[in-house]
Amino acid sequence: MTLSGKRAFVTGGGTGIGAAIALQLAEAGADVVITGRREEPLIETAAKSSKIAWHVMDASDETSIIDAMTAADDIDIMVANAGIADTSPVAKITMDHWRKVFATNVEGVMVCTREAVRQMVPRGWGRIIIVSSVAGLKGAPYIGAYSASKHAVLGLMKSAADETMTKGVTVNAICPAYVLTELVQKGIDNIVEKTGVTAEEATQQLANVNPFKRLIETDEVAAAAMWLCGPGSGAITGQAIPVSGGQV
Ligand SMILES: NC(=O)c1ccc[n+]([C@@H]2O[C@H](COP(=O)([O-])OP(=O)(O)OC[C@H]3O[C@@H](n4cnc5c(N)ncnc54)[C@H](OP(=O)(O)O)[C@@H]3O)[C@@H](O)[C@H]2O)c1
């Protein structure tokens, strides 16, 4: 596959799933801009490919997203991946917790999607990929706000897909199961702290949720994103695609 000449924008592209997607896009020849709040992981990932540039951006801030997307200019591939996974039992959810999760996971994704549609539709080609989660397809204990946010972006994705269906733009979501990234490492640290098990045991607990009895690899999630950008992908739109080992 070649994506030579295509311009991609990956939020949260300095680490984890976003970095894997950015590197695979760059390897296929796309010019990629990765964004995040911290410079260090952006610099580290960009150093791995001459096709990757970086821009500091806060995905919970509309102006910051618009500034970064304007600087990137004429984006062909939008990967709205940045997200946070703060946890709380439903009975203890505060408004601050709820709003913080929604600001990045829903409002940020909405702005990225809206601005991408504005840029792509007039040019008649575009690929918008939202990184949701298996938690966007089913709930689980302690992730009420996170799960709600990941369900919410699927509604946005389906509406955006309906609006762009005949305009050369596709809008889809990828729904990974547990992948070992900074985000899941925090969850593992939390299990260790609260239950006293070892990090290996906590990791295996998460792996055991999956029928494969292992965590999903970042490159497996990136491969799904690449497929949505590649030849023959124009008829796939409005879909929430699990990369979950059959978990959902
Ligand atoms: N790992 C999993 O098991 C899993 C499963 C399903 C779905 N997901 C989803 O996959 C996506 C990527 O997560 P990951 O697992 O790769 O974890 P990660 O390595 O922690 O990546 C999250 C990225 O989002 C960025 N980010 C977070 N808040 C941001 C903000 N306000 N503004 C800009 N960037 C922000 C972070 O960069 P900065 O901190 O530098 O801003 C970081 O690069 C998330 O949407 C997550 O919900 C993950």
Domain locations in the chain? 7-177+217-242, 179-215
Does ligand 1 lie within 6 Å of residue 137's CB atom?
A: no
Q: Which atom of ligand 1 is nearest to the CA of 135?
A: 6
Confidence of residue 201 (pLDDT cuts 50, 70, 90): very high
Q: Which atom of ligand 1 is nearest to the CA of 58?
A: 32
Does ligand 1 lie within 6 Å of residue 58's CB atom?
A: yes
Cα 207 from Cα 191, distance rounded (Å): 13
Spacing, Cα 173 to ligand 1 middle (Å): 15
- Using alpha carbons, list the distances in angstroms from residue 207 to 179, 187, 197, 201, 245: 9, 13, 15, 10, 11
Does ligand 1 lie within 6 Å of residue 179's CB atom?
A: yes
**pLDDT at residue 1 is higher than 90:** no
- What ranges in 165-217 are assigned the alpha helix state H? 182-195, 199-208
Spacing, Cα 28 to ligand 1 middle (Å): 23
Average pLDDT over residues 168-186: 97
Nearest CA to ligand 1 atom 42: 12
pLDDT in tens, 19-33: 999 999 999 999 999
For this structure, is 142 an active site residue?
no
User: Which three-class secondary structure state does DSSP give residue 28?
Assistant: coil
- Active-site residue (options: 146, 164, 224, 229): 146
Whole-model pTM: value is 0.98
Cα 110 from Cα 235, distance rounded (Å): 23
Does ligand 1 lie within 6 Å of residue 18's CB atom?
A: yes
pLDDT in tens, 69-121: 999 989 999 999 999 999 999 999 999 999 999 999 999 999 999 999 999 99
Fold of 7-177+217-242: Rossmann fold (3.40.50)
